[in-house]
Homo-oligomer: A and B are copies of this chain.
């Protein structure tokens, strides 16, 4: 195992891939490896990229990576697809990207699909970020599909969250957008050469201005403009226009990532976000340990009998929980 850890730290692609596979299978060995690698993490700039389906996220990520590579930085990409049991996470975008970026030793791409729970996916993604961070990648880009809890989880894991939209979305999408705006540090209107792009940019700026967001984001949650400056300069969420297929606007996006990183460092937000991330991680592990303890202390047939009683409305869930906790407690004392 020590050899594997050393190889990962040296950035050896095969070792990285092997460890990530172990992480996906949630092996104990993987957990120990992450523990050993942890002191070497905290250097990468973790960027989450998300947005509505059809906004061209994969193309933006692809073009952004090319631009970042011109600055001679190493880029790791995690493509998270929590909704695709059929494709196993291999989306069209990935295939295009693979063809485009493969052969560049400064780029590592990994697709991850949900196998079990979405919570499991969030945990695995957090671990893979650490592996790539410890392996010396300067940027770790995490791309997700769709809108929902996955996005929030990724915003939680990232230092900078980029939300990508495209012109001409309907009314219902606007409302989803509103939710997604809450997690955005940078907004991108891709396909900006299409008709209606100006209107989309304007409407996004208006939502930023009018909404509770007030165009600023701090500490993983929205703060009103009046409180936003308590840490010095507030971050004004920029709305950038790109045409990713022609690599237009990518230099500006790369520059904005740097600016946001500088902002996080100067305002003290970096440590604040890292602490929040740490808490979520510790909380997740605590719950996991507790449930394992619980499973070990309550016999399956007792549990099953109680659940049948709950399902048949003979016992309510609150009473069931009280009974189960008493059993766990007495087992612990016994």
Residues of B within 8 A of A35 (CB): 316, 318-319
Number of copies: 2
Residues of B within 8 A of A38 (CB): 313, 316-317
Residues of B within 8 A of A71 (CB): none
> Known contacts A42-B313, A287-B287, A325-B286; is A81 also within 8 Å of B319 by CB?
no
Residues 291-325 of A contacting B (Cβ, < 8 Å): 291, 294, 306-308, 310-313, 316-321, 324-325
Among B170, B279, B317, B325, the residue within 8 A (CB) of A53 is B170
Among B82, B86, B222, the residue within 8 A (CB) of A148 is B82
Q: Which residue of B lies closest to A148 (CB)?
A: B148
Cα of A70 to Cα of B152 in the assembled complex, Å: 41
Question: A178 near B: Cβ within 8 Å?
Answer: yes
A-side binding surface: helix, strand, loop or mixed?
helix
Contact assessment for B175 and A84 in the assembled complex, using a CB-CB cutoff below 8 Å: yes
Question: A257 near B: Cβ within 8 Å?
Answer: no
Question: A194 near B: Cβ within 8 Å?
Answer: no
Residues 7-44 of A contacting B (Cβ, < 8 Å): 31, 34-35, 38-42
A residues in contact (CB < 8 Å) with B: 31, 34-35, 38-42, 52-54, 81-87, 91-93, 118, 145-152, 170-173, 175-176, 178-182, 207, 211-212, 222, 271, 274-275, 277-279, 281-283, 285-287, 289-291, 294, 306-308, 310-313, 316-321, 324-325, 332
